[in-house]
Structure 1
């Protein structure tokens, strides 16, 4: 994939998060936390999971690209210990954190070069198992993971009567002549 594709995925990530969080603003705290039998329980549980996973991956990327100044803010963030960890009990704190993450993702992806995409990223998963994969492959996973769980949140919102509208990447893909 070309750099433009990664930028499009970062833009899509930010756009969809804005739509989801805006839709969630109409819900009460009880509605956000209600166990809806989703994999991460509630709407806010799932949103927290997405933020946890993004933080974990961004910190892994940071450890492999320490010279990358755009990922420097991650140095002040603690590494999540569990995939179901609640980073923020309150919706406003999570909303601000999400905006910060999305800005960080967009800025970082904007600076990725073609040579970086074939770089090997070495990391340990949550169970301590070591892996080595190309950055491009991990970016595919990173963005796909977000899309997967945002789809779950979209479904949970739909079940309470909130339709967030178009969610297709195609909506951000420019027309060609």
Structure 2
């Protein structure tokens, strides 16, 4: 039954990204990519293979609707591959007894650090693949910064909403 819950979340996140957030483009620099929230907050116990397959399918779903040639799938795969390292970096406990990535389990500072690293990495790779030139690295960094701030704001709102709802 838990698997069905994540399938529904997957579909909702892709639909929100494609139908709502893909149409938000502020001053040429701010594009929110909220679909990665699905990868950020999958259970810690998710196997690496399943995580990579899910990341690929999530990114590919967005790529299909955006006609973006696989850049979302690539950025999502890198995020999924490095996710365990980011979690080890911020985890106070070794994760064996933690099932969910929640503020109550990790604390707000750790969740913020984890989210900032993960979102910034994803967005940087995404925008570098889109530009595909090192000469555009300045523009890529600006787009990464602004889009990461917008995405992180949404991620934090969702985390705080879930925290208050469960408290």
With the shorter chain as reference, the TM-score category is 0.3 to 0.5
Q: Under a length normalisation based on structure 1, what TM-score does the superposition of the two structures give?
A: 0.31
The higher radius of gyration belongs to 1
Q: Which has the higher contact order (CA 8 A, sep 6+)?
A: 1
Structure with the bigger percentage of strand: 1
Normalised to the residue count of structure 2, the TM-score between the two structures is 0.32
